[in-house]
Structures are given as C-alpha cells and as structure tokens.
A and B are shown apart, each in its own frame.
Chain A
Amino acid sequence: MIKIQNSKQFKTLEFRISNLFRVSIFELRILIVCVLIFVFYIFIIETVNAAKLNFVSPTQEFAVGQQFQVDLVLNTENEEINAVEGKVIFPGELLELKEIRDGNSIVNFWIERPKIEQDGTICFSGIIPGGYNDGQGLILSITFLAKKEGNGAIKFGEVKALRNDGQGTEVPLTISNFQFSISKEVLTTQPPVPEIKDLEPPENFKPEIASDPTIFEGKWFLVFAAQDKGSGIDHYEVCEGKRKCLTAESPYLLQNQSLDKEIIVKAIDKSGNERSVTIPARFARAWYKDYAALTILIIVAFMYLIWKILWKKRRK
C-alpha cells in the first residue's frame, strides 16, 4: 500500500514539474537521466585522482628486424607512491625480448627484479622508501626486436601502486597499453635504441652481516644492494675467504658461519663493470685454525729436530 501511495506521489510530482517547465513527462525523464549521468561524471568519476603508468616510446611504427626501446614511466599525479608491481605482456609471435634495463629506475629495492617469467610476460615488483611524487618516474626500459609484420599491443597486467601512508593503501591507477604496428618498411626515420656506454662501475654499497631466528635457522647471512645508473646491476658474487666466488642473491646464507675470514662482495653491472666491497673477518681465527702458521711452525720444529739429531751425532 505504501509503495503504491509513493508511486502515485512520485507521478504527481513528475506531472507538476513537467507542467512547471512546460515539457512532457517523457522529456522530463530524459532530462533527469542526462543530469544524473552528468553528476555521476563530475562528482564521482572526477574525484578519482588516478596515478598513471604508461609505455613511452618515440614512435609506434617499426620495421621488421628493427630494435626499439619502450620505457615504463610512472606519473604519480600528486600522490606519494612507495610500492609498485605488475606484469608486462607482449605478443611473442611479433616481438622478441632483447633486454631489460633497470639502471636509473626510481625503484630502490626490487622485491622481484624485472625478468621474463613465461612467454610474453615480464614481472616486476619493488619499493621506493620514503615515497615518490613526480611526473616522470622511470620504472624500467625494455628493448624488443620486431620479428614479423603485424599489429599488436604491449599490455599491462595486474598492476598495483601503493600509497606512502604506512598502510599500503592502493592508489587508483590509469594504465595505457602500447599499440604498435610492424611493417616491411617504415617511411619515417626510426630513432635507434639508445646505446649505453657504461664505463662506470656500480655505486659504492655496504653489505651487512646479520642473523635472525626466523630465517636460515638463525644462521649468519649477508644482505647487500647496489645501484648502477648506467646499464643496471646484472648479478652479485660473494667470495668467502679463499673459497670460490659464487653468484649470490640477497639475503645470502654464509657458508663460513665462523665469520673468521674476510668476505668480498662484488656487484657486476650489465656492461661487465665491477665494484668490490670487502668485509673484514668479524672474529679472529683460533690459532690452531691458522693452517699456514701451523705448517710453518711444524716445519721449523721439524728442522730444529733434524739439526739437533745431526749435532748430537757430530759431537759423538
């Protein structure tokens, strides 16, 4: 009953308004719908202040056999963002991945360093302590080779950006896929892939030895992170004492848990430049473990014994 009454009242109101503005009820309803759409746009959509993640490239037309570079750039749109992750999906039948560069990235620490995961997917995940708030934040650069003719798109997948608010609040993100076309010949001049002449070693860094009961069963491990503003870090190597240097990732479980030998950590960039940092032995080696000194002591003692025996014989 109440619903019927309300419906009647509504119809009466409609009738009154349509009379007031001298329009039919049908026209009035169209007007109301337009106003609602307008309000929806202005007050709800426009309040969504979205950061933007875009692919940036000088051109979208390439020739078969051409290499080109695409940059992932973050525009925070006045948001302060301290974490970003996502996937880059590209058509493997049209493009071949040649190189991923993360040198000069705004990401200070990679949770997952950008790498190819499966055919056509590049994953990345990292943080920017203190937050980043600017319009041209380079996340990473990808170099592709155009394999054959066709049209395609390089797309984002599962992208997320988090606000620097201590709670990991997700920031609305606008993403734009990268449409491209590959043909036999392209009329316009194609810019070459910028060549990085990286002669500088990675930046100086400070590895740390730590232990924690929750990982590696409380054993000593090594943490390290270097930056390279040229070609980016390729890999790290850890050399413990005279042991063979091993390729390592942070955190690295130390083989020598006595910490009585120096440790050398090498950061090698993609151009082969190397930065080595030495951590001195934390604890002095027990005297009986100093094999060199022990060997010399034994030889000296042996030689003294021989000399003593010969001297006695000579005296006799």
Chain B
Amino acid sequence: MTAYKKVGRLILLLCLVCSITYSAFSLLQENNRLISGILLSVKNKIKYCIGAMQGVVTITGLVLGPLPPPSPSPSPLPLPPGGGGGGVYIPPPVVTQVNFSGRAYPKSAVTLLKDAQIAATTIAGADANFQISISGISGGNYIFSVYAEDSKGIRSCLLTFPINVTPGVTTKVSGIFIAPTIAVDKSEVKRGDNIAIFGQSAPNSEITIAVNSDEEFFAKTPADKNGVYLYNFDTSPLAIEQHFARSKSAYNGEISSWSKSIGFLVSTKSIPAPPTKCPAKTDLNNDCRVNLVDFSIAAYWYKRPLSAAFKLIEQERLSGDAKIDLVDFSIMAYYWTG
C-alpha cells in the first residue's frame, strides 16, 4: 500500500471516529437534548401528517408572538438642586410608573393586562393612537399584555412584554402596533366561491392576508380611513380541506405581528358564519371572557376524573382528550382576555 493511500485511509478513519465520539459526547452531555428534540420533531411531524390526512392542517406560524418591543426607556427622577442658599429640599414622591403608547384601531377599546389581570383600559383616538399608563406598582418582573377590540367587538391577539420595573422610575414602552382583527363570513365555503376576509386595523394601512394551503397564498388590501379592510378571497386554488387565514398590517414603515388565525372549511357547500366576538375556545363559563374564573374551573378538575357534564365542555372547548392537563391550560393561556 502506498504512503498516499495509507494517509488517506487514516484521515477517513479519523473523521469517522471524531463524528461518532462527538455524537456520543453530545448525547451524554446535554441530557437527551438530541433524543428528545428528535423525538419531538418526529412526533410533531407525525401529528402534522395525520392532521393533513384528516383535512386539518396545523399552522405553525412564522411569528406567533409580538415583535420585540422597543427598549423601554426609563426616565430617572430629577436630581435635587445643587448649590447653597438655604431652604429645605423636599424630594418629589417616589413614583413607579409604566407608560405604553402605540397604534390600535380608531376609537377602539385598548386593554392593558398586568400579570394577566386587567390593570387599565383606554379608548384609542380617531387616528388609532393610544396611550395607557399604570402607576403605584412595586419594582420587579412583570408580564404586561395589550389587546384591542374593534368596532364589532372582536378582540385582537395579546401583545406581550416582559418588563423589569425599577422602583421610582417611569418606564416607557412605545411603538406598539397591535395586530389586526380578522374574521370570515363563512365557516364553510364551496370551492370556487369567494370568502370574505375582513377586520380592522390602523386607518389607511396596508393589510397582508395569508391563507395557508400546501403553499401559502398572500394577498394585499388597503384599510380604509376607519381602518376597516375587506378582501374577497377566491377559493378556487384551495384544496377541499380546512384552511386558516391570518393578517398583518403595515403603516409608515412599521409592521404589526400576525393576527390570530381564523379557520374555514373548503367543501362542496357554503355555510355563512356571523362573526363572534367571544373566544373560540376555553371560555368555560360562557361569559365571553377567558380569565381567572375559567382558569379556576379548569384547576378544579386538574388531575381529577371529569364529570359527564364537564367532559362535554372539555371536548368542545379544550383539548378534547377527556382530561385536564397542562395542554388545556396552555390553550387557555393562548385565548386569555383577562
């Protein structure tokens, strides 16, 4: 065997040994990250395929959450006046405050949640701009969320900001752009007919609508001076199965996050569906809200065998697996209104 061949063989063997060693090392070091990650990927892919075969395609969105919020800009308290001259300096009272400002829909009700409970509400202006403040809170880590209700009472998805509040400091969060609301006029549409996709956003903004299928279809439509948009989507290119639509808004170079997804079925007949302002799921007590009461009802049944009556509710409004576990609470957290 020539020296060249020997060296080549040695290099190949070395590559093989390094690859196997690194794989084994990672497996041991990272405590099943690879295995759990692979298993989960495979599990989710299998779920996706089963769902596709059943006519339900699950969207795993590109960006489900909010855009990263602008950095809060704390404005510290003024310094005491320097110099002499006598007199007593009375420092201003310590105020801990958080101010939120941004864009919703014209004259819409904007709600601010602090740690998932309603802290303040306001009405946006005719230009859709809003400002909302909360004060008298302690320092610490908070999860603030905002959402808006459009002229039909339909709520947007939650836009969430984790903020570390410093005592005595006013924190400002600006540049918020709440995602549009979205609704459809049919729960089921005959293939080839149009389905109206509509909602509300900032006035004169540009709305991008995405309808998923094997390929995703995009359409753009302008919102009018009241922020209302309407797009008649031709369902001809869609397969006969469940589809989901969502929208986002662009205005003056700013882009909102994606809205909630709304589902509709493409089939051989059309069934109109009036838009409902109540959450599609997890409203266990039928008060059109998803809040601590619904959480407490679900918590009562956590790790308990379900009654016959509650099984029906769980089937209709939660995960439908006949038990209350973390998955049901996660679904509830998604539809949360406070």
Residues of A at the B interface (CB closer than 8 Å) are 23-24, 26-27, 30-31, 33-34, 37-38, 41, 44-45, 47-48, 50, 80, 82-83, 85, 103-106, 108-109, 111, 125, 127-134, 137-138, 156, 160, 162-177, 200, 203, 205-206, 208, 210, 212-216, 221, 223-225, 227, 229-230, 250-251
Chain B: minimal CB distance from A273 (Å): 11
**Complex CA distance for A166 and B244, rounded to whole angstroms:** 13
**A140 CB, min distance to chain B CBs, angstroms:** 12
Within the complex, what minimum Cβ distance (angstroms) separates A193 from chain B? 18
- The docked-state distance in angstroms from the alpha carbon of A36 to that of B321 is 39
A163 to B58, CA, bound (A): 13
Residues in B neighbouring A172, C-beta threshold 8 A: 33, 36-37, 40-41
| Beta-carbon contact of A106 and B162 below 8 Å | yes
Given contacts A31-B12, A168-B331, contact A214 B23 (CB under 8 A): no
Establish whether residues A127 and B333, one from each chain, have CB atoms under 8 Å apart when the complex forms: yes
Contacts of B15 in A (CB 8 A): 30-31, 34
Minimum-distance CB pairs A-B, first 5: A229-B140, A48-B37, A168-B327, A129-B336, A80-B65
List of B residues within 8 angstroms of A224 by Cβ: 292
Q: Is the CB of B141 within 8 A of A129?
A: no
Given contacts A27-B9, A169-B44, A221-B296, 7 further A-B contacts (CB under 8 A): A48-B38, A108-B115, A131-B160, A165-B64, A175-B33, A214-B301, A223-B292
Partner of A132, one of B43, B162, B302: B162
Contact of B138 among A41, A164, A216, A229 (CB under 8 A): A229
Residues of B within 8 A of A163 (CB): 64, 330
Interface membership of B16, Cβ < 8 A: yes
Report if B113 contacts A (CB, 8 A). yes
Tell me which of B141, B281, B297, B329 contacts A166 (CB under 8 A).
B281
Q: Which residue of B lies closest to A40 (CB)?
A: B23
Q: Is the CB of B138 within 8 A of A200?
A: yes
Q: Which of A131, A133, A251 contacts B333 (CB 8 A)?
A: A131
Docked Cα-Cα span, A63 to B193, in Å, equals 74
Closest B residue to A38 by CB, please name it. B19
Q: Which of A104, A125, A130, A216 contacts B140 (CB 8 A)?
A: A104
Chain B interface residues toward A at CB < 8 A? 5, 8-9, 12-13, 15-16, 19-20, 23, 30-31, 33-34, 36-38, 40-41, 43-44, 58-61, 64-66, 113-117, 137-143, 145, 158-160, 162, 261, 281, 284-285, 292-293, 295-297, 299-302, 307, 309-310, 313, 319, 326-336, 338
Q: How far is the CA of A230 from the CA of B37 in the complex (A)?
A: 36
Question: Would B117 and A206 count as touching, CB distance under 8 A?
Answer: yes
Cross-chain contact B60 with A165 (CB below 8 angstroms): yes
A10–chain B nearest beta-carbon distance, Å: 20
Question: How close is A93's CB to chain B, nearest CB, in angstroms?
Answer: 22
Contacts of B285 in A (CB 8 A): 210, 212
In the bound complex, CA of A128 to CA of B141 (Å): 13
Q: Chain A nearest CB: distance from B208 CB in Å?
A: 20
| Complex alpha-carbon distance, A80 and B258, angstroms | 14
On chain B, the residues within 8 Å of A47 by CB distance are: 41
Q: How far is the CA of A288 from the CA of B30 in the complex (A)?
A: 71
Q: Which chain B residue has the least Cβ–Cβ distance from A76?
A: B65
Which B residue's beta carbon lies closest to that of A132?
A: B162
B60, B296, B319: the one contacting A168 at CB < 8 Å is B319
CA distance A108 to B142 in the complex (A): 9
**Residue in B34, B139, B326, B334 whose beta carbon sits within 8 Å of that of A229 in the complex:** B139
CB closest residue in chain B, given A160: B326
Are A225 and B140 in contact, CB atoms less than 8 angstroms apart?
no
* Separation of A134 and B319 alpha carbons in the complex (Å): 27
User: Chain B nearest CB: distance from A112 CB in Å?
Assistant: 8
Given the known interface contacts A172-B37, A172-B40, A212-B284, the answer about A129 and B326 at a Cβ–Cβ threshold of 8 Å is no
**Chain B residue with the shortest CB-CB distance to A110:** B299
Known: A109-B116, A205-B117. A82 touches B38 (CB 8 A): no
Give the Cβ gap from A114 to chain B, nearest Cβ, in Å. Answer: 15
Give Cα distance in the complex from A24 to B4, angstroms. Answer: 12
Inter-chain contact B138/A251, CB cutoff 8 Å: no
For residue B65, which residues in chain A have a CB less than 8 angstroms away from its CB? Answer: 80, 131, 133, 164
Tell me whether A225 and B117 are in contact (CB under 8 A).
yes
Give the distance to chain A from B269, nearest Cβ to Cβ, in Å: 27
